[in-house]
């Protein structure tokens, strides 16, 4: 088995075990994500806010044509994809913006 095939298999297993949310597109398609919505002290602590971010498989994003500007619903909250940051190992950090 090639290294790439091993990596794909490992990523799929990790995603299956670690995903904690489902991202839905407007058309109803979905994919699993590792979702995080941590506290953020914006404007030097002047505004309490959040920093929503999801990690997803590159293959899922490619399959569903997710790109910057795509509308997603995660945990019943609407977001827009602000940026896609691939880590080079098959995972992508999906930076989200409240819609």
Partner 1 sequence: MATSAQLAVRDAVATLYAGLATVHENRDLALPTGVASHIQLYVVDSNPERNFVSSVAPVDWTTKLRTVIKARLADRVTAERAADALLTQCYANVMADQSLGGLVQQLDLGSIEWDQDEADATVVMVTWEITVIHRTQVNTLT
C-alpha to C-alpha distance for 29 and 49, rounded to whole angstroms: 29
Closer of 10 and 98 to partner 1 (Cβ): 98
User: Is 22 in contact with 32 (CB distance < 8 Å)?
Assistant: yes
C-alpha to C-alpha distance for 90 and 38, rounded to whole angstroms: 23
Closer of 67 and 80 to partner 1 (Cβ): 80
- DSSP state, 70? -
Q: Which residues bind partner 1 (CB under 8 A)?
A: 37, 40-43, 45-52, 96-99
CB of 15 to partner 1, least distance (A): 24
CB of 18 to partner 1, least distance (A): 22
| N residues, the chain | 99
CB of 75 to partner 1, least distance (A): 13
- DSSP state, 15? H
Closer of 28 and 45 to partner 1 (Cβ): 45
């Amino acid at each position: 088995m090639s290294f790439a095939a091993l990596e794909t298999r490992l990523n799929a297993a990790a995603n299956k075990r670690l995903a904690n949310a489902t991202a839905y597109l407007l058309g109803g398609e979905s994919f699993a994500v590792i979702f995080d919505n941590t506290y953020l002290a914006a404007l030097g602590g002047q505004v309490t806010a959040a920093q929503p971010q999801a990690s997803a498989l590159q293959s899922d994003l490619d399959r569903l044509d997710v790109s910057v500007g795509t509308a997603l619903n995660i945990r019943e909250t609407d977001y827009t994809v602000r940026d896609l940051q691939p880590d080079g190992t098959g995972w992508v950090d999906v930076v989200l913006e409240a819609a």
